[in-house]
């Protein structure tokens, strides 16, 4: 029945049919909403790392290893011997991981200092990948999120959108500035079956590499066997829909600089909900405005014809 | 405190430039004081550009990793696009809804929108980190990204505006065949323009849908794209009013005051709808209490909603106000200021944590922004001088202030 009506419509409204076809066709070429998902399903086997904050001594071996493995410039501070008094370091486009001492209240209100390693969390459903207009951020099949400067236009939407504020920009970069962030050594070491450089360099076992489900199991086991030692929260288990980096701590995470209140639902659907409606909205608008313009135009033409006819008659 | 002094200084410079441009009518934009002001701005902008392309964005701007988007995105791109919305509104009114009495202001409005979009495109080129890769979104598609939509809208709508702006140029050059082709395709082109504009205006709001826990709750809303679109339509109409007023003054031709009155009325109604939706949205999300909490953001929000939405909405709904050109102009200027404030609030203050600002624009960023505004104005005046933009009949002095 509906189809029949539609056909009748098409026979009567030529312009509308043309415009609808045009808009629909363009829409279909650009985007086919069926079968597209803004996010890949979470994978239990994603290569992951469990960080046990209670075991980190703050030696910054991982920072040095990261610099070497990724050919990044080494700052003088990092050549100093441990233990030393180091300045706080920030993530930069050429510094993909940092370890900083952070002081905060533990559960009993006592001030304690913990060494916190930060790097890209490697989200299971990465926001940066979904917001990048050119696909410069991609999620590799293995899981880590890779960055390709060859595609990047430098719009910095990834920096703005990242729920963990991880990607950094080369602000002194002239015409060809790049974004920098940890890529889990995916191209190099992981592909050769070796551990990420930071994990390999850790002398205390604060970093543990493995499949995500195995690490989650291990983390839960540690919490269960030592409930006095750990807070009952695995940071990264559900933050931003789950991340490959998982953290265990004896101090509530929000007290030692971890971002609290990160949505537990994945972020990409927030914009996809709007984007996926564009083809239908654009087609509807084309149809609507096309019909209005066409019918008003026709009426005007008829009026003009009548006017000229009556003028001729009077002459 | 320094920050506030800085902002006050910026506003003062901006006002000075605006006054120079608006009231400098005799030998047009070549009067000495205006000329010197503009020259200084352009030289500063040139310096900024050279340093930006050699030493990078960090050397000229206050942007950093905590505030990756600054004044050029917030004020030049977001506000610029919103202020150019008059183009598609008037084009749709004349060509789609066939309300032909708006035809006299069609050409100047389209020209304004076209120049606005050109400046936005240039601003984006300067602002992106790898300017020579600007064409990548055309061939490297990633249609899950709002930024992808934004890029396509900028490029396609600029093309549409170029076609819509071409008739006066073609008339001037006497290319009648080409002119006829453009005239025949007017309606489909205008419809495409309306769709692209709707998408573009709303998509700038959609950009912020992805940061629910970063953007201040007074501005974050799932309805951001709708708010951006509605506010842009109202602001676009007010730009037409302001622009007609100053064109009439500077170029000594008549003011289409009846049209201005109608536009003002429509803008007022749209502002009321915007206000009601905004309040309902805040109430529905339980953020209404934050309006009066006294933080920097809540004060800016109040200034924006009361001073630049509610006040002009009330003013424009009063018939006597609409009848007085100066009052109409004042209300329209308020709306324009409101849209700039709103876009800056969303992109800057709303993205800051309480009153700790991660970002303060440098004088170089401001100089370049001013260069965009003055440059656009000068190009507009030149175009009006050399092209048949304003209807010839409007030269009659009887219509002045009529």
| pLDDT single digits (tens) B271-301 | 999 999 999 999 999 888 888 888 888 999 9
**pLDDT beyond 80 at B30:** no
Q: Is the pLDDT of residue A142 over 90?
A: no
pLDDT at B27: 47
Given a cut of 50, whether residue B246 has pLDDT beyond it is yes
Q: Which domains does chain B have, with CATH numbers?
A: 2-356+363-387 (1.20.1630.10)
Task: State both tokens at A208.
Answer: 């543990």
List Cβ neighbours of A100 (8 Å cut-off, separation of 6 or more): A88, A89, A115, A116, A118
Number of domains in chain A: 1
Close Cβ partners of A190 (under 8 Å, ≥ 6 residues apart): A47, A142, A144, A184, A196
Q: Is A285 in the B-facing interface, judged by CB distances under 8 Å? A: yes
Share of chain A above pLDDT 90, in %: 48
Contact between B226 and B281 under an 8 Å Cβ cutoff? The reply is no
Residue A143: inside a domain: no
Q: How far is B239 from chain A (nearest CA, A)?
A: 24
What are the DSSP calls for B350-374, one per residue? Answer: GGSBTTB-S----HHHHHHHHHHHH
Burial of residue A164 (number of CB atoms within 10 Å: 0-12, 13-18, 19+): buried
Rg (CA), chain B: 21
Antiparallel, parallel or unpaired: β A47-52 and A245-248: parallel
Q: Give the Å distances, CA to CA, from B263 to A226, B190, B269, B273, B327.
A: 71, 20, 10, 15, 14
pLDDT tens-place string over residues B148-202: 999 999 999 999 999 999 998 888 888 889 999 998 888 999 999 999 999 999 9
* B137 to A296: CB separation less than 8 angstroms, yes or no: no
Long-range pairs, A16-19, Cβ under 8 A, ≥24 = A16/A287, A16/A290, A16/A291, A16/A294, A18/A290, A19/A286, A19/A287, A19/A290, A19/B188, A19/B191
pLDDT above 90: residue A119: yes
**Domain range holding A192?**
47-124+184-272
Instruction: Measure B144 CA to nearest chain A CA, in Å.
Output: 6
Chain A's closest residue to B92, CA to CA, is: A289
Residue length, chain A? 315
pLDDT tens across A147-185, in order? 999 999 999 999 999 999 999 999 998 889 999 999 999
Closest CA to B210 of A171, A261, A259, A270: A270
Residue A154 within any structural domain of the chain: no
Q: What is the pLDDT of residue A244?
A: 94
B145–A175 CB contact, under 8 Å: no
Residue A214 sits in a domain whose CATH number is 3.30.70.20
| Chain A residues lying within 8 Å of B151, measured CB to CB | 133
A157: in domain: no
Q: Are A184 and A69 in contact (CB under 8 A)?
A: no
Of the candidates B161, B310, B124, the one whose C-alpha atom is nearest the C-alpha of residue B234 is B310
In tens, the pLDDT along B297-351 reads 899 999 999 999 999 999 999 988 888 888 999 999 999 999 999 999 999 998 8
Banded model confidence at residue A82, pLDDT cuts 50, 70, 90: low
Structure confidence at residue A22 (pLDDT): 47
Nearest CA in chain B to A133: B148
Residues of B in contact with A156 (CB under 8 A): 68-69, 128-129
Phi/psi class of residue B117: alpha, beta or left (left: φ > 0; alpha: ψ in -120 to 50)?
A: alpha
* Residue A138 lies inside a defined structural domain of this protein: no
Neighbours of A21 (CB within 10 A): 13
Instruction: Please check whether residue A289 touches B, CB under 8 A.
Output: yes
Residue A24 within a domain: no
> What count of CB pairs under 8 Å joins A to B?
180
Across residues B36-60, what is the average pLDDT? 91
The Cα A79–Cα B172 span in angstroms is: 70
Q: Using a pLDDT cut of 90, give the percent of chain B over it.
A: 56
Mean pLDDT computed over B233-260: 84
**pTM recorded for the entire structure:** 0.85
The answer to whether residue A218 sits within a structural domain is yes
Residues 76-135 (B) with a CB less than 8 A from some CB of A: 92, 95-98, 128-134
Task: Give per-residue pLDDT as tens, A21-53.
Answer: 444 444 444 443 333 344 444 478 899 999 999
In a domain, A313, yes or no: no
How far, in Å, are A28, A31, B373 from residue A34 at the CA level?
A: 10, 9, 44
Closest CA of chain B from A129, distance in Å = 9
Average confidence (pLDDT) over A75-90: 71
- Using the Cβ of A293 and the Cβ atoms of chain B, whether some distance falls under 8 Å is answered with yes
pLDDT at A41: 46
Give chain B's mean pLDDT: 87
What is the pLDDT confidence band of residue B19, given thresholds at 50, 70 and 90?
low
Q: What confidence score (pLDDT) does residue B78 get?
A: 93
Angle at B232 (CA atoms; ends B230, B236), nearest 5 degrees? 125
CB count within 10 Å of CB B265 equals 16
* Domain presence at residue A104: yes
Q: Check pLDDT > 70 for residue B127.
A: yes
Q: What average pLDDT does this structure show over A270-291? A: 89
Of A68-77, A252-261, B159-168, the poorest mean pLDDT is in A68-77
C-alpha distances in Å from residue A162, one per residue of A267, B39, B234, B402: 9, 41, 33, 55
């Amino acid at each position: 029945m509906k189809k029949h009506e539609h056909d009748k419509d098409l026979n009567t409204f030529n312009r509308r049919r043309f415009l609808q076809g045009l808009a629909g066709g363009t829409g279909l070429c650009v985007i086919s909403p069926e079968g597209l998902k803004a996010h890949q399903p979470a994978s239990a086997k994603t290569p992951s790392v469990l960080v046990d904050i209670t075991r980190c001594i703050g030696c910054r071996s991982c920072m040095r290893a990261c610099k070497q493995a990724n050919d990044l410039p080494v700052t003088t501070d990092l050549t100093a011997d441990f233990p030393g008094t180091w300045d706080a370091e920030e993530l930069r486009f050429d510094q993909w991981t940092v370890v900083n001492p952070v002081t905060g209240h533990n559960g009993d209100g006592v001030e304690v200092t913990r060494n916190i390693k930060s790097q890209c969390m490697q989200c299971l459903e990465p926001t940066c990948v979904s917001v990048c207009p050119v696909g410069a951020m991609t999620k590799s099949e293995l899981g880590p999120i890779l960055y390709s400067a060859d595609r990047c236009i430098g719009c910095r939407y990834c920096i703005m959108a990242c729920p963990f504020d991880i990607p950094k920009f080369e602000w002194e970069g002239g015409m060809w500035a790049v974004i920098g962030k940890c890529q889990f050594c995916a191209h190099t070491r992981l592909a050769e079956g070796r551990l990420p450089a930071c994990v390999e360099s850790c002398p205390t076992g604060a970093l543990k590499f493995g499949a995500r489900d195995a690490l989650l199991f291990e983390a839960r086991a540690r919490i269960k066997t030592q409930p006095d030692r750990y807070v009952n929260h695995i940071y990264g288990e559900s933050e931003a829909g789950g991340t490959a980096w998982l953290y265990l701590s004896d101090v509530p995470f929000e007290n030692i600089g971890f971002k609290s209140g990160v949505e537990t639902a994945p972020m990409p659907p927030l914009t996809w909900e709007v984007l996926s409606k564009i083809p239908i909205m654009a087609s509807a608008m084309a149809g609507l405005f096309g019909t209005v313009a066409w019918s008003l135009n026709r009426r005007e033409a008829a009026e003009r014809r009548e006017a000229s006819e009556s003028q001729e008659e009077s002459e | 405190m320094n920050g506030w002094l800085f902002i006050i200084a910026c506003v003062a410079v901006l006002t000075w430039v605006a006054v120079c441009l608006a009231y400098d009518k005799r030998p047009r934009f070549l009067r000495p004081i205006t000329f010197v002001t503009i020259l200084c701005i352009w030289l500063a902008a040139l310096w900024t550009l050279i340093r930006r392309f050699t030493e990078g964005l960090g050397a000229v701007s206050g942007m950093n990793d905590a505030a990756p988007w600054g004044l050029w995105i917030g004020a030049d791109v977001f506000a610029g696009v919103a202020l150019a919305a008059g183009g598609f509104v008037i084009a749709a009114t004349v060509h789609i809804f066939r309300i032909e009495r708006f035809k006299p202001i069609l050409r100047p409005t389209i020209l304004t929108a076209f120049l606005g979009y050109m400046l936005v495109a240039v601003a984006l080129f300067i602002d992106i980190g790898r300017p020579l890769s600007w064409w990548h979104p055309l061939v490297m598609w990633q249609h899950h990204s709002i930024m992808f939509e934004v890029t396509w809208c900028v490029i396609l709508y600029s093309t549409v505006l170029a076609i819509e702006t071409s008739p006066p140029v073609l008339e001037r050059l006497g290319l009648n065949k080409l002119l006829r082709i453009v005239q025949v395709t007017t309606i489909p082109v205008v419809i495409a323009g309306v769709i692209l504009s709707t998408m573009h205006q709303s998509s700038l709001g959609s950009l912020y849908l992805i940061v629910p826990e970063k953007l201040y709750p007074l501005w974050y809303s799932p309805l951001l794209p709708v708010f951006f679109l509605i506010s842009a339509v109202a602001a676009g109409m007010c730009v037409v009013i302001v622009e007609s007023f100053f064109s009439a003054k500077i170029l000594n031709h008549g003011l289409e005051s009846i049209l201005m009155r109608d536009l003002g009325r429509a803008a007022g109604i749209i502002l009321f709808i915007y206000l009601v939706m905004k309040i309902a949205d805040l109430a529905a999300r339980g953020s209404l209490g934050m309006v009066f909490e006294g933080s920097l953001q809540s004060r800016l929000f109040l200034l924006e909603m009361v001073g630049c939405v509610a006040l002009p909405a009330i003013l424009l709904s009063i018939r006597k106000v609409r009848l007085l050109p100066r009052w109409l102009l004042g209300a329209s200027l308020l709306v324009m200021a409101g849209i700039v404030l709103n876009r800056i609030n969303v992109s800057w203050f709303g993205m800051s944590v309480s009153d700790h600002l991660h970002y303060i624009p440098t004088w170089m960023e401001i100089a370049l922004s001013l260069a965009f505004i003055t440059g656009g104005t000068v190009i507009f005046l030149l175009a009006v001088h050399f092209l048949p933009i304003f209807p010839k009949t409007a030269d009659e002095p009887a219509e002045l202030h009529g």
